[in-house]
Amino acid sequence: DGGITQSPKYLFRKEGQNVTLSCEQNLNHDAMYWYRQDPGQGLRLIYYSQIVNDFQKGDIAEGYSVSREKKESFPLTVTSAQKNPTAFYLCASSGMGFTESSYNEQFFGPGTRLTVL
């Protein structure tokens, strides 16, 4: 089955430690995204990547880093510089629509809940 996997589902870390969240997709999608979800805040875009070895900052990139060495993988590192890292993190992917009529919707993984103690 094609889809997006995120691991682990729950993650606990001590304050001041960096932590990396995994996101893998086998949908052959070019674009991948990371969102952060807080209660009552909806989803906010952290980073996105439209092609291997390239990525762009979203609305709340401070304190986060990403890499895109392979098409199917887009790991997110939450660094110690992120002031309030406890949240639910969602990864998504989509195809690339090169015309307005072929705009692609995003497919989401099951999420990782990060708790910083």
Partner 1 sequence: AQSVTQPDIHITVSEGASLELRCNYSYGATPYLFWYVQSPGQGLQLLLKYFSGDTLVQGIKGFEAEFKRSQSSFNLRKPSVHWSDAAEYFCAVGAYAGGGADGLTFGKGTHLIIQP
Taking the C-alpha atoms of residue 87 and residue 19, their distance in angstroms, rounded to an integer, is: 13
Measured from the CB atom, the residue of 5 and 17 that comes closer to partner 1 is: 5
Assess 107 for contact with partner 1 (CB under 8 A).
yes
Which among 17-25, 62-70, 74-82, 107-115 is the span making contact with partner 1, rule CB under 8 A?
A: 107-115
CA 25 to chain centre: 11
Assess 56 for contact with partner 1 (CB under 8 A).
yes
- Tell the smallest beta-carbon distance from residue 16 to partner 1 (Å): 27
Assess 50 for contact with partner 1 (CB under 8 A).
yes
Q: Which residues bind partner 1 (CB under 8 A)?
A: 4, 30-31, 33, 35, 40-45, 48, 50, 56, 58-59, 90, 92, 94-98, 100-101, 103-111, 113
